[in-house]
Amino acid sequence: MVTKGPLPYDAVVAQVTRLLAPVLGESMAIASTNAHGQKLAIQDGHVTPDQVEALVTKLGSGLAVFVGREKAAALAAEMRAAVAQLGSAP
């Protein structure tokens, strides 16, 4: 679980794509994050911790064909940490 409460979806996307862009390119990072995000049934522009976890897991598994599972898992961990910081921000 990356956070305890709901987070703004746009902020989550910004954090995740910032980390994915060097590998996937910015437009693909945004497109793939949004493609997975659309399947999460987001309401009121906020995502629950479970939805964030599902999003990060999906993005990580897709990355594995390019970078291998080990590095994909490391990137997913970075994404979780970055999103967790959003939750702890005042």
Site residues (CB under 8 A) for another protein?
A: 21-29, 31-32, 35-36, 58, 61-62, 64-71, 74
Residue placing its CB nearer to another protein in the complex, 15 or 32: 32
CA-closest candidate to residue 16, choices 28, 33, 2, 4: 33
Q: What is the dihedral of CA 21, 24, 30, 31, to 10 degrees?
A: 170
Residue placing its CB nearer to another protein in the complex, 3 or 19: 19
Q: Give SS3 for 8.
A: strand
Cβ of residue 5: shortest distance to another protein, in angstroms? 28
Cβ of residue 14: shortest distance to another protein, in angstroms? 16
